[in-house]
A and B are shown apart, each in its own frame.
Chain A
Amino acid sequence: QQQVKQSPQSLIVQKGGISIINCAYENTAFDYFPWYQQFPGKGPALLIAIRPDVSEKKEGRFTISFNKSAKQFSLHIMDSQPGDSATYFCAARWNTGNQFYFGTGTSLTVIP
């Protein structure tokens, strides 16, 4: 059973456009929601994260929107660039602090 559902599986965006990736969860025991970026042949790298008491967090061109009542959160990449082409994973941390559950990943391609 997938604890965190992520969509879409793949996404193609024009340079300068907005990329949006969505995640949903069911279990209210999650207390921390990070996003990771992974380039081919590399390990995932923490991109941005949010706690459920905050509705939005912005870091540069990357924004997380969090809807606690709907149990959904999303990553927005503004002014998408070819260098943003990578696989993105959302995740959720169990409130005991040590188990993370990951979405299935979104392959983003930004075309010039």
Chain B
Amino acid sequence: NAGVTQTPKFQVLKTGQSMTLQCAQDMNHNSMYWYRQDPGMGLRLIYYSASEGTTDKGEVPNGYNVSRLNKREFSLRLESAAPSQTSVYFCASSDGGRVSTFGSGTRLTVV
């Protein structure tokens, strides 16, 4: 089915470990986004990529890096995980500035 695919679905990290969350979309959308969702906080934008080759910081970029590998793929990297990064992470894509499709999320726990 067409959409946004995120991997992994679940991950447990120890403080200080690194990992990369993968995201791919097959809708030929130009823009891609990484959000985190925390209880009582809604969704907060970490980074976004308006088009292939560009990335920009969102509301909460500290502790994260991103790579727009090609038009389809947008990865999120945690270089040194901290307990404050325990969250559910969502990748999304859009065409024309209308966020239309989210992935099913990655539930990350940092212990």
Report A's interface with B, CB cutoff 8 A: 2, 4, 6, 9, 32, 34, 36, 41-46, 49, 89, 91, 93, 97-105
Q: In the complex the two chains form, is B40's CB within 8 Å of A104's CB? A: yes
- Interface size of B by CB at 8 A reads 26
Q: In the complex the two chains form, is A105's CB within 8 Å of B42's CB? A: yes
Give the most central of B42, B45, B101: most A CB within 10 Å. B42
Given the complex, which residues of B lie within 8 Å of A43, measured CB to CB?
4, 90, 92, 102-105
Report B's interface with A, CB cutoff 8 A: 4, 31, 33, 35, 40-45, 48, 50, 56, 58-59, 90, 92, 97-105
A99–B35 alpha-carbon span in the complex (Å):
11
Q: In the complex the two chains form, is A44's CB within 8 Å of B43's CB? A: yes
- Show 12 residue pairs from A and B whose CB-CB distance is below 8 angstroms, ordered by the A residue: A9-B40, A32-B98, A41-B105, A42-B105, A43-B102, A43-B103, A44-B90, A45-B102, A46-B100, A97-B50, A101-B45, A102-B43
